[in-house]
């Protein structure tokens, strides 16, 4: 539900992420560093796809790339 | 009357004298604490801004050559800057077992910058874009490292990577100051210094939130999306708790009820402004100089607060909440719970002193993001789970 005082929904984010399953650009995310380890969480509110890119794992870059928009 | 007045005057003078002496001693103690902690800080090179990596070049990092990487970077940088290699020193930060590769570069013993090599091929350009957006906002306190070029073609083990060269922010991270809190008589003056770093950090984040506010309120749907993401995390932690028993099921139920039924609805109902945030706010990502001016480092997570036009869409509370929650985490083993609460109070008082958004309006969001950061620790097995549980309990006032 939208209110009159809300800002317009954003057209994606500056990093150009989009959901790999439903292509929504309203992706929500977090990036936290723990010493050298980086954990990036990606969540699509539309289809509820959840993903984690963990720099301790070999698929870290592939996970991030999966969520990047291809225009 | 005269003798009485004279006696009173003497007492007043004595009190003023004692207070002045006390204040003078406190200042002197803080001064010596500062001198002690900043004694070994390497200053920036006087011509630091002149040294930029703008040429077309390439660099291949191979894991089996990792011990030689600093020497290879030294040769590369010396060649790019046309200086004798022995004048350049390169130090690798961290062991590089995980995440990105980071090298500190000095010329004649003075800082020239930091070369960060991202495993993500889009990492360097993403950070450069964020730094440009912040630079255009012309902030006076929230000043991330200046961008100074990079290496256009870089790979790690034949996988495409990316690299950015930035200013090395001179000073020490607040995390290192906390970790080196002395015991004994110097402890109080060090705590006073840490109080100042809290106030300086609060002002820095406040400036970002204030100056990069979009002018509108945070989108209702965005708030709902954020809550859904956080509550999904709660489900993940509950599943893990059945196996690992971080806490009793009753304690987890209390936390869940507080978040789901009380804090989340209050956040969704609040009219918080939409703005940019740092996104990974913690004492390890704030560097202070010897005047205790705070500056942010590692701005990558700002991408989660900026739309495709570089406009702020998030909640300031992401930084405020994470900063205070991770203060507990980063102080484990160095500060007592009372000392952490003292620093948290210094940070929050200063932040709300400046903020146009009242504390009562921001509080639900602050608590939500603070607790979320500790749920993430439990979910991903970061550090001591008892520390994360104790932090959540303290933040929510649930007791232990």
CA–CA separation, B87 and B77 (whole Å): 11
Q: What is the CATH architecture of B48-166?
A: 2-Layer Sandwich (3.30)
Residue ranges of domains in chain B: 48-166, 172-396
**Looking at beta carbons, which residues of chain A come within 8 Å of B97?**
36
Helix H or strand E encompassing B160: strand B159-160
B298: nearest CB among A33, A37, A48: A33
| Start-to-end C-alpha separation, chain B | 60
B25-37 in b/e form (b: 16+ CB < 10 A) is eeeebbeebbeeb
Q: Which two structure tokens, joined as six digits, stand for B173?
A: 């991270």
CA–CA separation, B164 and A63 (whole Å): 22
pLDDT reported for residue B7: 60
Closest alpha carbon within chain A to B100: A36
* Chain centroid, CA A34 distance in Å: 19
Query: Is there a contact between B78 and B174 (Cβ–Cβ < 8 Å)?
Result: no
- Strand residue runs (E) in chain A: 28-34, 37-43, 50-54
Q: Which of B205, B211, B209, B355 shows the shortest CA–CA distance to B295?
A: B205
- Using alpha carbons only, what angle is made at residue B77 by residues B125 and B83, rounded to the nearest 5 degrees? 140
CA–CA separation, B206 and B192 (whole Å): 21
- Asked whether the predicted pLDDT for residue A5 surpasses 60, the reply is no
Half-sphere exposure of A30 (CA within 13 A, CB side): 28
pLDDT reported for residue B4: 53
CB contact under 8 A, B217 and A2: no
At residue B2, φ and ψ (nearest 5 deg) are -60, -50
pLDDT reported for residue B33: 81
Count residue pairs from A and B with Cβ separation < 8 A.
Answer: 137
Helices B317-331 and B359-380, interaxial angle, to 10°? Answer: 50
Helices B187-211 and B337-354, interaxial angle, to 10°? Answer: 30
CA–CA separation, B177 and B377 (whole Å): 23
Q: Which two structure tokens, joined as six digits, stand for B359?
A: 């504390």
pLDDT reported for residue B302: 98
Residues of A with CB under 8 A from a CB of B: 1-3, 5-16, 26, 28-39, 41, 43, 45, 48, 50, 52, 54-56, 60-61, 64-65, 68
Q: How far is A23 from chain B (nearest CA, A)?
A: 16
Residues lower than pLDDT 50 in chain B: 1-3
Query: Is there a contact between B161 and B33 (Cβ–Cβ < 8 Å)?
Result: no
Contact of B284 with chain A, judged by CB distance below 8 Å, is answered with: yes
A55: nearest CB among B98, B133, B298: B98
Task: Find where tokens 């969520």 sit.
Answer: A67
- Using alpha carbons only, what angle is made at residue B299 by residues B297 and B301, rounded to the nearest 5 degrees? 135
- Asked whether the predicted pLDDT for residue A1 surpasses 50, the reply is no
Q: Model's pTM, two decimal places? A: 0.91
> Which listed CATH number (3.40.350.10, 3.40.630.10, 3.40.605.10, 3.90.1200.10) goes with B172-396?
3.90.1200.10
Could you give the residue ranges of the DSSP H alpha helices within chain B? 2-38, 69-81, 123-136, 174-179, 187-211, 220-244, 249-257, 264-269, 317-331, 337-354, 359-380, 385-396
pLDDT reported for residue B66: 94
pLDDT reported for residue B14: 60
Return left, alpha or beta for A23; rule: phi > 0 is left, psi -120 to 50 is alpha, else beta.
left
Strands ordered across the beta sheet of B147-151: B88-93, B101-107, B110-118, B162-166, B147-151
Express each pLDDT in B284-304 by its tens digit: 999 999 999 999 999 999 999
pLDDT reported for residue B29: 72
Sequence-separated (6 or more) residues with CB below 8 Å from residue B246: B237, B240, B252, B378, B385, B386, B388, B389
In residues, how long is chain A? Answer: 71
pLDDT reported for residue B19: 53
CA–CA separation, A11 and B219 (whole Å): 13
């Amino acid at each position: 539900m939208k209110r009159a005082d809300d800002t317009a929904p954003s057209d994606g984010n500056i990093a150009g992420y989009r959901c790999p399953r439903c292509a929504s650009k309203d992706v929500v995310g977090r990036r936290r560093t723990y010493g050298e380890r980086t954990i990036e969480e990606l969540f699509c509110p539309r289809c509820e796809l959840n993903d984690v890119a963990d720099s301790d794992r070999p698929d870290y870059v592939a996970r991030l790339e999966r969520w990047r928009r291809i225009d | 009357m005269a003798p009485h007045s004279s006696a009173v005057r003497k007492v007043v003078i004595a009190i003023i004298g004692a207070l002045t002496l006390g204040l003078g001693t406190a200042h002197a103690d803080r001064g010596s604490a500062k001198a002690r902690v900043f004694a070994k800080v390497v200053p920036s090179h006087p011509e630091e801004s002149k040294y930029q990596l703008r040429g077309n070049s390439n660099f291949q990092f191979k894991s089996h050559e990792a011990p030689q990487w600093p020497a290879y970077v030294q040769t590369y940088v010396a060649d790019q800057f046309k200086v004798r290699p022995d004048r350049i020193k390169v130090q690798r930060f961290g062991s590089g077992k995980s995440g990105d590769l980071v090298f500190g570069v000095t010329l004649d013993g003075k800082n020239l910058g930091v070369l960060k090599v991202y495993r993500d091929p889009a990492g360097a350009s993403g950070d450069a874009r964020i730094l440009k957006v912040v630079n255009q906002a012309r902030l006076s306190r929230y000043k991330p490292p200046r961008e100074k070029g990079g290496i256009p073609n870089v790979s790690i083990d034949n996988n495409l990577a990316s690299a950015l060269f930035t200013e090395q922010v001179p000073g020490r991270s607040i995390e290192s100051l906390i970790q080196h809190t002395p015991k004994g008589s110097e402890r109080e003056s060090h705590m006073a210094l840490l109080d100042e770093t809290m106030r300086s950090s609060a002002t820095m984040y406040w400036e970002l939130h204030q100056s990069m506010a979009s002018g509108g309120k945070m989108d209702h749907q965005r708030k709902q999306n954020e809550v859904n993401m956080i509550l999904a995390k709660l489900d993940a932690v509950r599943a893990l708790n059945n196996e690992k028993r971080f806490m009793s099921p009753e304690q987890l139920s209390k936390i869940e009820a507080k978040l789901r039924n009380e804090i989340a609805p209050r956040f969704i109902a609040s009219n918080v402004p939409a703005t940019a945030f740092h996104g990974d706010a913690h004492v390890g990502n704030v560097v202070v100089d010897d005047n205790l001016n705070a500056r942010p480092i590692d701005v990558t997570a700002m991408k989660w607060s900026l739309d495709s036009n570089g406009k702020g869409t998030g909640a300031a509370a992401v930084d405020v909440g994470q900063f205070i929650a991770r203060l507990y985490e980063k102080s484990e083993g160095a500060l007592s719970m009372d000392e952490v609460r003292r620093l948290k109070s210094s940070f929050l008082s200063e932040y709300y002193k400046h903020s146009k958004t009242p504390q009562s309006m921001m509080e639900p969001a602050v608590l939500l993001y603070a607790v979320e950061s500790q749920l993430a620790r439990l979910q991903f097995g970061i550090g001591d789970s008892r520390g994360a549980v104790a932090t959540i309990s303290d933040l929510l006032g649930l007791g232990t």
